[in-house]
Amino acid sequence: MLNNFSDQELVDVYTKCLLENLSDDFKAILEKELKKRKLFVTVEQELISLAFGKSNLDFYQLVKYSLDSCFVLQDDKVIYINQAGFDLLGLKYPEQVIGEAFSRFLHPDFHGIHKKRLETALNGEVTELMEQRMLKSDGETIDVEVMAAPYAMDGQNLAQIIVRNITQRKQTERRLHNLEKLSSIGQMAAGIAHEVRNPLTAVKGFVQLLEKELVHPYLPIVVEELDNAIKTLNNLLQVAKPDLNNEPDVMINLCSELESLIFLFQEQLYKVTVNKHFQNCDKEFRGKKNLILKAFFNLLKNAIEAIDGKGEITLEHFYRNNMIHIKVRDTGSGVPAAKIKLLGTPFFTTKEDGVGMGLTQVFTTIHEHGGHIHVESEEGKGTEFHIQLPAPV
């Protein structure tokens, strides 16, 4: 019977059936026929035009004001971007993006996979959501979730890329992960330090008593070595349990503090050039000054130690989105990709005389101040620590 129906009649009957809740059996028969004739897209359009009135629904506007970023690509070339896309990449003018390759805005790690997914979309299939990283016009890296889907226009096969910014979510995840890592290892280390420090202090006391009765050349060395061990343990306790530092919060102006810190390294800096790009120096934030100074001291010290011979250290200070941003960049040895995850773990060191507590103090202090820290490094090229500290207006 359905054979006699034209395509349009079939679609009309089916939409009516959907809207008037006719019997499921009848619906099933219609669906079989619709499937055979591949008419589901037409049904969808019919339903939309019934809901919004024929040709009144302007999809362009829906996309234009969408909170997700949308790009339409011809091969890899961007031919459309919505406002959210502009905002996501920090762009000002269409010519910065229209006609450009989409991969230009993608982190190089994802160029290969993007190419494959683009092909899938151009072949008419939707890809799964995938976490990738994109580059903003100012070079900042952002975490995004990306989906590629086909987009047909005037007989051409194009692709649409939908992008959602998940930087905030990823940052929170990383922060929690770091905090967990630090607090579990830190607590364990602090526990052990505490247990070991007490007997060592007792031993030192007894050796000092012995020294009064006995003269032996080894005794002063024993005391000295014990002192070193106790000092290391004290350092560890200090960073592992920063709440022991009952320092009051004060307003801190990092521009001037960084200036003074650099001064402390004068002697080591004869081969290293320090570049300063300080902006928004009127901004201050609230925190524990000694802990913060110690953190930046540790970062500068590492930067200097990473440079063998000549090199450069660049310090940036600026204010954006209620945060003070500080970047400490060096042209030193860099950190191998596999080791980046270990930075901040107590006792991780690659130096012969290293202690591996410097970065633990940095991470703990920045997190305790509600801030974030992000490290990028390339072996043989250098390292950048990007710190953000909250400074509400």
Ligand X SMILES: Nc1ncnc2c1ncn2[C@@H]1O[C@H](COP(=O)(O)OP(=O)(O)O)[C@@H](O)[C@H]1O
Sites of contact with ligand X (CB under 6 A): 298, 302-303, 306, 330, 332-335, 343, 348-351, 354-360, 383
- With CB cut-offs between 5 and 8 Å by kind, which of ligand X, Mg ion, none does residue 355 bind? ligand X
**Interface with Mg ion (CB under 5 A), residue from 127, 302, 360, 364:** 302
Near Mg ion in 343-382, by CB under 5 A: 358
Contact 50, 78 (CB under 8 A): no
* Between 162 and 295, CB nearer to ligand X: 295
Q: Give dist(CA 284, CA 288) in Å, integer.
A: 12
- Shortest CB 167 distance to ligand X, Å: 24
* Between 165 and 360, CB nearer to Mg ion: 360
Q: Give dist(CA 297, CA 262) in Å, integer.
A: 8
Q: Give dist(CA 126, CA 162) in Å, integer.
A: 11
Q: Give dist(CA 115, CA 4) in Å, integer.
A: 46
- Shortest CB 348 distance to ligand X, Å: 5
Q: Examine residue 333 and tell whether it contacts Mg ion (CB under 5 A).
A: no
Tell whether the torsion through CA atoms of 306, 310, 312 and 313 is positive or negative.
Answer: positive
* Between 302 and 364, CB nearer to Mg ion: 302
- With CB cut-offs between 5 and 8 Å by kind, which of ligand X, Mg ion, none does residue 333 bind? ligand X
Residue with tokens 């420090």: 197
Chain centroid to Cα 132, Å, comes to 11
Contacts of 253 (CB under 8 A, 6+ apart): 281, 283, 284
- Shortest CB 335 distance to ligand X, Å: 5
Q: Which stretch binds Mg ion (CB under 5 A): 269-277, 297-305, 312-320, 384-392?
A: 297-305
- Shortest CB 342 distance to ligand X, Å: 8
* Between 39 and 313, CB nearer to ligand X: 313
- Contact string 34-73 vs Mg ion (x = CB under 5 A): ----------------------------------------
Q: What b/e string do you get for 340-353 counting C-beta neighbours within 10 Å, with b at 16 or more?
A: eebbbbbebeeeee
Q: Give dist(CA 300, CA 315) in Å, integer.
A: 9
Q: How many CB atoms lie within 10 A of CB 315?
A: 24
Instruction: With CA atoms as reference, report the closest residue to 15 among 36, 34, 38, 37.
Output: 34
Residue with tokens 């070339």: 77
- With CB cut-offs between 5 and 8 Å by kind, which of ligand X, Mg ion, none does residue 332 bind? ligand X
**CB-nearest residue to ligand X:** 358
- With CB cut-offs between 5 and 8 Å by kind, which of Mg ion, ligand X, none does residue 343 bind? ligand X
- Shortest CB 356 distance to Mg ion, Å: 8
Helix (H) / strand (E) containing 389: strand 382-390
Which residues bind to Mg ion, rule: CB under 5 A?
302, 358
